[in-house]
Amino acid sequence: MKNLVWYKVLKNKSALPEGRIMTVSAGTKQIALSHFEGKFCALDNHCPHQGGPLGEGSIENGILRCPWHGWDYHPCTGKAPGFDDGVEPYPVKEENGNVFVGIMEEEPHQETISDVMMETMVNWGVDTVFGIVGHSNLGLAEAMRRLEEKGKLQYFGVRHEGAAAFAASGYAKLTGKPAVCFGIAGPGATNMFTGMWDAKVDRVPLLALTGQVNTQVVGTGAFQEVDLVKAFQTVAEYNHAVQQHSRHTELMTGALKHAIVKRDVSHLTFPDEVQILPKPADETQDNPEGRISPFTISPPKEMLDKAVEMISNARRPVIIVGHGARYSMDEIVKMAEKMHSPVITTFKGKGLIPDNHPLACGVLGRSGTPVASWFMNESDLLIVFGASFSNHTGITPKKPIIQVDFDPMALSKFHKVDVALWGEIGVSCKLMREKLQGKIKTLDQSREIAARRKIWKAEKENRLKDDRGKGISSIAVFDAMNRITPYNAVIAVDVGNNTYSFGRYFECKHQSILMSGYLGSIGFALPAAMGAWAAVKNTRPVWSLSGDGGLGQYLAEITTLVKYNMPIKHILINNSELGKISKEQRASEYEVWKTSLHNPNFAEFANNCGALGIRVEKRESLEAAMYKISEHNGPALLEVICDVNLI
């Protein structure tokens, strides 16, 4: 038998004057507490018609009026004069000036559809969610809260759902595992669209969960009604609405299997009333055991033999690695060392081999170094691991090419290659290395690499001297970062000239670089750094880099860094201009138009948020300021006033 539980709802009864009403909490229940005719009365806070909050209403002529649609109730009995409906009253008592409301003890929690689906999600290893809780996802949020309380889930409330999607994408780019972005129906969901596309085109797993309006009003033009399945059909490989009679664990299993195996985006949307329905009696949580196979796929023998033959006949082969090769670098470096061959990365692959490795030649393409392009041009064979041939990569199609990728659709995507080797990259590389035993005739190019790097180093030192008196050069920023950024940091970068300069001048040691590769979305850096920190916590330093245009997109997320004490260090290149766009306008022989920016003092903004903000306008102050933010125990921003043309 249930007992009556008394909750103190008012510490001082004088806080609620005669003739007034207010909303109070008794456990998890919301109560409309009124002071009427000399006594305190308590009613359920929800108007039975539309759920209007009666505690926000008013008492007029002895009647409590609902603030949403004007329905009347007696403040103490809850009865509606002249009608047979009303709201439930609760017992009230006063003791020592305090007011108590009696509520029957709550029933034990009954598992819901949301509970079983969220349990299945964490069983698949997904333990990180970025999002905003709102009126159409509350049942799902409650299931997440219970899991967080048990230590099975970490939830980060952000300031914009676009940041949630970028954070989830950044998490996946670093770890290879999906995180979740989470929003309400309508605008909360559509705000996530850009970040979902970022994950999709860069081939990383992401799970989007959205609330939806009640099923019974779908199609009526209800408030915030958007057909989210239709809206996301271009971006989500797996895309379904959860219904009362769905096979709920299978839906979540399918979503995660698609995301992980296909390295793609999955989306599930939950109608409001479905979220809180009781879990069907025959439904249990699922897990990946027996549901997913290993990815160690070996390449077809005929393609492997052809690749080995081409390599055995090559004298100056060059290895090019893209972001898709990030988990196979040990095998690739062993192969390069065996052949004494240069290793070049795409921009997305920056940092996969340390820049101080004797065979490393830096980045190829628009953000690249002359060392990389020189060796590609001098090669007689390109061996390409985990990279496509989009126009930004700079990989020439005019050389003999062996392309290795886990995704058969990525092979020969833009043009025909000589050998299209489908298989897991590490496995394929190891098999090639084994079959090449005793067959390698390649030249040792390491001395050439050292000579070319020396030439490039001298060129960088010359550029470092440039000063037009209009701000610090971005080259100087990266020169300082080369000395100060921790060797094992995760660095999330944005887009624009700041990022091109980073690709060219920053020298990676063992840092991991995250970027919006194929989508090239401005604003990526800071939210992606949040995702990276959620993955590594304080086991690795996390830095981010952007221009003023990029940081302005998600500037409010600095408050998120402070809220969760994410000790992210953000380097801001502020030139008060969308400099890359100005450059493109000039290159297209247009006038420069509408690319100037009106900025706040970003450092003061960071300080106002509770982070450390430092602004630098002179080069001689740069290094000391960067050391200071690096050593700061918490989030910090270094704003560097830069010359837009010294890139």
- Tokens representing residue 231 in the block: 């809206």
Residue with tokens 């609760």: 90
Q: 422 and 486: one domain?
A: no
**Are 367 and 408 members of one domain?**
yes
Q: Please indicate, yes or no, whether residues 125 and 79 belong to a single structural domain of this protein.
A: no
pLDDT of residue 83: 83
Q: Do 119 and 85 sit in the same domain of this protein?
A: no
- For residue 23, the domain's CATH number is 2.102.10.10
| Residue 204: inside a domain | yes
CATH of the domain at 310: 3.40.50.1220
Residues 6+ apart with CB under 8 A from 458: none
Residue 215 lies in a domain: yes
* 455 domain-assigned: no
515 with 629, same domain: the answer is yes
Residue 71 has a pLDDT of 87
In a domain, 285, yes or no: no
- Taken in order 533, 505, 600, 164, the sign of the CA dihedral is negative
Q: Is residue 417 part of a domain?
A: yes
Residue 454 lies in a domain: no
CA 459/CA 29 separation, integer angstroms? 69
pLDDT at residue 8 in the model: 94
- List CB contacts of 211: < 8 A, sequence separation 6 or more: 134, 135, 136, 137, 138, 140, 183, 184, 185, 188, 189, 269, 270, 272, 275
- Same domain? For 88 and 133 the reply is no
The residue segments making up the domain with residue 402 are 301-447
Q: Is residue 247 part of a domain?
A: yes
Do 118 and 158 fall within a single domain? yes
Q: Is residue 260 domain-shared with residue 185, that is, in the same domain?
A: yes
* 3-class secondary structure, 562: helix
The set of residues, in sequence order, having a beta carbon less than 8 Å from that of 591 and lying 6+ positions away, is 585
Predicted confidence (pLDDT) per residue in 238-252, tens digit: 999 999 999 999 999
* Strands laid side by side in the 612-616 sheet: 512-514, 490-493, 542-547, 569-574, 636-641, 612-616
In the chain, the number of structural domains is: 4
Same domain, 78 and 168: no
Positions in the chain whose pLDDT score sits under 50: none
Which of these three, 447, 478, 506, is where a domain ends? Answer: 447
Q: Are residues 38 and 165 in the same domain?
A: no
Domain CATH for 267 = 3.40.50.970
Same domain membership, residue 313 and residue 207: no
DSSP type of residue 380: S
Domain-terminating residue out of 55, 70, 104: 104
Please report the pLDDT score of residue 295 as a whole number.
79
d(CA 502, CA 99): 63
For residue 12, being part of any structural domain is answered with yes
DSSP of 424-457: -HHHHHHHHHHHTTTT------HHHHHHHHHHHH
The interaxial angle of helices 248-262 and 113-123, nearest 10 deg, is 30
Domain finish residue from 87, 104, 121: 104
Residue 365 and residue 263 in one domain: no
